[in-house]
Homo-oligomer: A and B are copies of this chain.
Amino acid sequence: MKATALDPDTLTPGARRVLDSASELFYERGITAVGVDLIAQHSGVTKRTLYNRFGSKEALVATYLLARDRRWRAHVAGALATSGLTPQERATAPFRALRTWMLDNRRGCAFINALAELPDPEHPGHRVAADQQQWLLELFTSLATEADLRDPGDLAHQLLCLYEGALAVQTPATTRSSAETVADAASVLVRAAAPSAP
């Protein structure tokens, strides 16, 4: 009956394994396409345990997205913690985080994919996915403001689009990855918005 996400950091050992399996399967094969029976089998846990811990598939999906969101925010925080960055370099730091992130996440943005499968705003996972974009937009906005860039809101919007686009575009025949190519574009946009620029 429960429909809200659990705290991914306080889980019983069985629930942990369920969430790990669900994360992999949902991301790799899609949320709707993966059934609870498969998740239970893959995690070596009974379906009964899955429901005792999470209450419903909805809640498991929401927890999966929440856990992924936390991982991503920690990953970005790591890139921002680098010392000796200029304010402008800080504004494009998430793109450097994106490069390493995409090495292990080749199936696009999990939140965009989730929104594609969960159009219902009432679904608890929908809000988690929407919040993730909002958070990133605000992060870009504050970074742009701290770097004294023009039109921080618009610039942040543009950087967010570049970021989501890099995740969406499957790397083409080009030798360089989308993350690297897009990081260059972000630098160009940031320089163009610099206070000293023409």
A188 to B186, CA, bound (A): 11
Q: Is the interface of A mostly helix, strand, loop or mixed?
A: helix
Q: Contacts of A54 on B, CB cut-off 8 Å?
A: none
What 1/0 mask marks residues of chain A from 121 to 144 whose CB sits below 8 Å from any chain B CB? 000000000100110010000000
- A154 touching B184 by the CB < 8 A rule? yes
What 1/0 mask marks residues of chain A from 69 to 87 whose CB sits below 8 Å from any chain B CB? 0000000000000000000
- A30 touching B164 by the CB < 8 A rule? no
- A161 touching B133 by the CB < 8 A rule? no
- A30 touching B117 by the CB < 8 A rule? yes
- B157 touching A116 by the CB < 8 A rule? no
A133 to B166, CA, bound (A): 13
The oligomer's copy count stands at: 2
- A161 touching B158 by the CB < 8 A rule? no
Interface size on A, residues (CB 8 A): 44
A113 to B116, CA, bound (A): 5
> With an 8 A cutoff between CB atoms, is A49 at the interface?
no
- B32 touching A33 by the CB < 8 A rule? yes
- A174 touching B154 by the CB < 8 A rule? yes
Q: Contacts of A134 on B, CB cut-off 8 Å?
A: 172
Q: A29-B119, A116-B113, A117-B32 are in contact. Are A169 and B157 (CB under 8 A)?
A: yes
